[in-house]
A and B are shown apart, each in its own frame.
Chain A
């Protein structure tokens, strides 16, 4: 079904729609950035933060949708994680697993759009403004999570706003998008995570203070934060959302990674007056709030932030990130070295013994007293 739609699009969409910045990200990431840095975008005018275009009156105005999609060949754990996210995010749209060959040409422009182009196209068809794309590589060993706004999103959102150069650039390429390496996944299925919440209830999004710090080293976190708000925050008044708040989704930046936790908010009122009084003395409230973890929990290691959607100018590179491939190859090399060393030692020993026999002269009286 999805493929049919895609093919239809290939014929329909004009070529400008897919920007040259959308690249085959299956290539080396560094290649993208080096290419992109040449054509630096026009220096953006420092526009003051625009007032939000959305009036907040409790009705459904923030009509943004999220495309939740994974590549083919994800393992069970990732699949469960996606399933969890789908139940937690009511504005998510489901799509079949993405299978594109390396030579997939987005919109038929021939230069190989790869995953990025394909995802963007699907997002456009489904009318999604943000994308969460889980990509699995090396037979499910490594999971990469992409978060981003699509071309479609920004062109719609900012149509009404000013048409200065910087926004025009974004209009075409969409973005920003972030690529994470996802690790330490625990899904909701785990029995250790005992919390539960209403399906579709709006989560409080808690970002630790580093997400809004002015430190230039941490400014990339602000982009991530804004993306997370769109991705994980349920829009107010969404038809599937519930009117009460019973969970908090927390993001922490620690150890160079973003840790994600999802808690249930449990409010317990005291059963009798005496308890209530002691409670009030302790916390100032008659009810005590505690949190129970619902799950899923995972750790996101940001690798790269692109200006566009699934490509484009690199805004941030995590220097500390070590590709898991490199780690594995190092391990293998170490193993190989052990073998080479042993073989070398064996050879050396053999040579030494041969030399010994060559050096010692034959004793002419050796067998006299035998």
Chain B
């Protein structure tokens, strides 16, 4: 032990601060057993105090190191002021640096790359969120639409019932809404004619194609134009039930009218 003490004394060169630049920040490190070792009895009386930090927790360890070093820097700055050593490097003082510009460029590139990476990840995350939100919104909108339709239909039903009730005095005749609409919309003459010829609705295919009979049927043909002919099949067919009375000429019709009145 004595040899250790003597060795300490002999190894100590007792340099003043200006030479040694040594600082011992008074705050003890917050690590587990070491912190306990350094604790004063008074501090122990105070109770819990800060929890000792696990030395193997990288982040916390480095933070503790950083804080201690920062404390040392502040102490050293004061000491330097006392001794008169300039501390801050002026802006216009250029000197060779430890790391080359090339290396620092690499460092910068890496920092930029990392920020970009972080941004990309965030963007991806937000995009994902947005698509999810959009999906939800779309579903919501569809549900709303369906509901609106349902409401409308039920309103129509209601109105129908009301209308039925109110028309109850008029013989209870119900107006079929669809038929009414059809009537209002109106079907073209041509359409009506072909419907008469071929029938309406049902399967298409060969039923609506010409067959031998209809192909030869020229009864509907009017060389002077006009569509009415289609329906005159029956006339051509020879049965003269409908067409028994032939329309007379205009003069005759006028004469007949004047005679009747």
Contacts and interface: CB of A to CB of B under 8 A. Distances in A.
A56 B18 contact: yes
B47 interface: no
B260 interface: no
Interface stretch (A12-20, A111-119, A132-140, A223-231): A223-231
Contacts of B26: 209
29 contacts: A47-B9, A49-B12, A54-B15, A56-B83, A58-B18, A62-B15, A157-B13, A198-B98, A203-B21, A204-B23, A204-B72, A204-B76, A205-B20, A206-B73, A209-B25, A209-B26, A209-B38, A210-B29, A222-B12, A235-B19, A244-B87, A245-B85, A246-B89, A248-B69, A265-B73, A267-B88, A291-B73, A294-B98, A294-B99
B80 interface: yes
Contact of A194 (B66, B70, B107): B107
Nearest to A45: B6
B55 to A, nearest CB: 4
Contacts of B97: 196-199
Contact of A315 (B7, B20, B80): B7
Interface stretch (A92-100, A252-260, A270-278, A332-340): A252-260
A209 B27 contact: yes
Interface stretch (A2-10, A22-30, A211-219, A357-365): A211-219
B20 A229 contact: yes
A173 B1 CA distance: 19
A36 to B, nearest CB: 10
A149 B12 CA distance: 12
B11 A149 contact: yes
Interface residues of A, number: 89
B9 A188 contact: no
Contacts of A44: 2-3, 5-6, 9
Interface residues of B, number: 63
Given A209-B24, A222-B12, A254 B76 contact: no
B37 interface: yes
Interface in A283-308: 289-291, 294, 305, 307
Contacts of B83: 56
A273 B111 CA distance: 30
B161 to A, nearest CB: 75
